[in-house]
């Protein structure tokens, strides 16, 4: 039986009517039309569906809609603010930190969660932050570079990192 669930999605408080056994991923993609979050394995093993849940990166494919009641959820569609790409997105573009783009949303969410927690991660910390995001195209080289560049860029400008 469907129930009403309330949570904050990309800055907006919303209410959804959903079966309790529905995953957040299916809700986002099929009910809310937010298809930027991808489905790659449905088992929490590829990271393509990563979203931020109360600031933490989690796999939306193994998260029930019911579990996010009262939480803040950010998807890739909610990263850019007022139509402006964030430095993280810009660096992904500049560094060619994607190819097919299927893992990109998840990568950006994992990187954003990292940078919000740790504005100056080491390369090892960056790699650990994206260890759960498989990328079949890039060898991760340019993804790591892009995340490093955000940190350096913001630092050089004396700004707080707002990934």
Partner 1 sequence: MVLPDFDYLAPKTLEEASNLLHELGEHAMVIAGGCDTFPPMKQGAFADCQYIIDLKHIPGLDKIEYDEKEGLKIGCLVKLFDIQTSALVKEKNPAVAQAAKYIASTQVRNKGTLMGNICAAVPSCDGGPILIAQNAKILVKGHDENRAVPAEDFFTGVKKTCLAYDEIATHIVVPPLGEDERAAYIKFATRKAMDLAIVGVAAWLKMDGETVADARIALGAVATTPILAPAAGEFLVGKKLDDAVLEACGVIAMNSCRPISDVRASAEYRRDMVRVFTKRAIRKAIEGYEGDAI
Partner 2 sequence: MNRFADKNYFRKPEDYRLVSGEKSNYQHIEAYDKVTGRAMYAGDFHAPDMLYAKAKLSPIAHARIVSIDTSKAEAYPGVKCVLTGKDFPDIKVGGHGKGANKHFSGEKTANVGDGDQEILCKTEVRMCGDPVAAVCATSEAAAQRAVDLIEVVYEELPACFDPREAAEADSPDVQGYGREAHNFGPCCTQLGSNVGKTVDEEFERAAYIYKGNFSTHHIVHACMEPHACYCEYDQHLDQYTVHVSSTMTYSDQYWLARVFETTEDHFNIVRTHVGGAFGGKSNFPFIEFVACRMAQRTGHPVRFVLTREEEFITQQGRHPFIMHVETAFDDEHRIIAKRCRQLLDGGAYGLGQVASVNLSVIWAAFPYKIDTIDLQSKRVFTNKSPNGAMRGYTACQVQFAGDLSMQYAAEHLGVDPVEFRKISALETGYKSPAGLVVTSCAFKQTLDDAAKHMDWVNRRAKLEKNEGIGFSGIAFVSGTASPILNTPNQVQTNATVRVDWNGIPTVYANCHDNGQGADTVMAMIVAEELGLDLRDVKHAETSTFNCGYDSGAYGSRVTFLGGNAVRRAAVDVKRQICEAVAAKWNCDPHLIDCIDHKVVCRDMGREDLEMPWRDAVTCAMYQKGGDEVVGVGSYYHRTNSAQYHGKPSNYAPSYVFSTGACHLTVDEETGVVDIDEFFFAHDCGQALNKRAVEGQLEGSIYSGIGYTLYEDLKDVNGRQINTNFHDYKMPTALDMPHITTKFDYPPDPEGPFGAKECGEGTTAPIAPAVANAIHMATGIEIHDLPLDPEHVWKLLREQKDVREEKWRWLKEEYYAKL
What is the distance between the alpha carbons of residues 55 and 73, in angstroms, rounded to a whole number?
A: 8
> Whose Cβ is closer to partner 1: residue 23's or residue 151's?
23
Q: What part of residues 89-128 is at the interface with partner 1 (CB under 8 A)?
A: 110, 113, 122, 124-125, 128
Q: Which of 129, 124, 93 is nearest to 109 (CA)?
A: 129
The count of chain residues that interact with partner 2, using the rule CB under 8 A, is 56
> Per CB under 8 A, does 89 bind partner 2?
yes
Whole-angstrom distance between the N-terminal and C-terminal Cα of the chain?
A: 39
> Per CB under 8 A, does 75 bind partner 2?
yes
> Per CB under 8 A, does 66 bind partner 1?
yes
What is the distance between the alpha carbons of residues 141 and 162, in angstroms, rounded to a whole number?
A: 22
Burial class (CB in 10 A: 0-12, 13-18, 19+), 153: middle
- Select from 1, 4, 43, 157 the one that contacts partner 2 (CB under 8 A): 43
Residue indicated by tokens 């009641």: 69
Q: Note the residues at the interface with partner 1 (CB under 8 A).
A: 1, 3, 19-23, 42-45, 47, 50, 53, 56-59, 62-64, 66-67, 69, 110, 113, 122, 124-125, 128-133
């Amino acid at each position: 039986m469907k129930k009403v669930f309330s949570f904050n999605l990309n800055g907006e408080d919303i209410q959804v009517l959903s079966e309790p056994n529905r995953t957040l991923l299916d809700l986002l993609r099929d009910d809310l039309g937010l298809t930027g979050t991808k489905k790659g394995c449905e088992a929490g093993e590829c990271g393509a569906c990563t979203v931020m849940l109360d600031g933490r990166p989690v796999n939306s494919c193994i998260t029930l809609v019911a579990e996010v009641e009262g939480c803040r959820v950010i998807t890739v569609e909610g990263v850019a603010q007022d139509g402006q790409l964030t430095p993280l997105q810009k660096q992904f573009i500049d560094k060619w930190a994607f190819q097919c783009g299927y893992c990109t949303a998840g990568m950006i969410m994992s990187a954003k969660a990292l940078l919000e927690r740790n504005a100056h991660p080491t390369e090892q910390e960056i790699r650990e932050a994206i260890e759960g995001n498989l990328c079949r195209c890039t060898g991760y080289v340019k993804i790591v570079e892009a995340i490093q560049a955000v940190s350096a860029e913001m630092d050089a400008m004396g700004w707080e990192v707002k990934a």
